Structure formats: structure tokens, C-alpha cells
Amino acid sequence: MGAADENDRDGVKKVLSKVKIKYNTLKKMWADMGYESRDLKDALQKEHGIDLEIVKRPPRRFWVHKDTPVELLPTVEVGFKIQPKRWIVERTFAWICRNRRLSKEYDLLPQSTENLIYLSMSRLMLHRFSEGS
């Protein structure tokens, strides 16, 4: 069985068992609808002490009875809307990919990429610190 055959909800349990060794203070995890499962939420809380919060998209379609008056119909927001928590990840990826070495996966070892991410974020924080003072 290959990695592509495995469900994300099952894979996250394996990843977290390794991640918790290094990052043992992890208490909260945000995920998209692909990870929505009461079993997963309960397992993460019981085994790792992590609270799993699913970030949901706003609803686009509604079922209503055919006799529902127009004034009682729900409204649907049209256009782009920033979703809570999701923008944090996308923004961070954008900051990291500003560094040419991290814009593509050049390195053979994941440890090299991890260290470059630390350098990238340290550089960003130092730059912001020097602007603020």
C-alpha cells in the first residue's frame, strides 16, 4: 500500500506520533473539511492532547421547501471571502517561497529544507524587528 492509497485522516495519526516527539507543546490543530471526523477528533484529543478544529467554508447552497417565502430565504455571499485561520497557512507559505531556494524542492534531505525554513522565518522576524525599532 502506497502513500497515495492512504486516507489523510489515517495518515495524520502516523505523522503526529512522530511530530509530538519534537513538538510536545502542540495543543491546537486547524484542518480543512477533509479531516472532519469525530473519531479523528477524539483520537487526537485522547492520544496526543490536541484539539482539532475544522475550518469550514461558508455554505453556498441551501435546501429550502418550495413554499418558503422569499424574505425567509437565506442569503449567499458572493465573491472572495477570507476564511478564518486558513489565510495564516497561505500567508506563511507565500513568505517562505519568497526565498529562491525554497520556491522549489531542490534539496534531497527533508532536514535541509526544514533548516532553510527556520532560516527564512528567522530572517523575516529579524527584518520586522529592525523595522519596529
Low-confidence stretches of the chain (pLDDT < 50) are 1
Could you give the residue ranges of the DSSP H alpha helices within the chain? Answer: 8-22, 38-48, 86-96, 110-132
- The per-residue pLDDT for 45 is 92
Helix (H, G, I), strand (E, B) or coil at 53: strand
Tell me how far apart the alpha carbons of residues 42 and 5 are, in angstroms, rounded to a whole number: 23
- The per-residue pLDDT for 1 is 43
Cell numbers for 90, please give them.
497561505
Tell me how far apart the alpha carbons of residues 52 and 28 are, in angstroms, rounded to a whole number: 6
Query: Residue 58 burial (CB < 10 Å; 0-12/13-18/19+)?
Result: exposed
Domain boundaries, the chain: 1-56, 75-133
- The per-residue pLDDT for 18 is 80
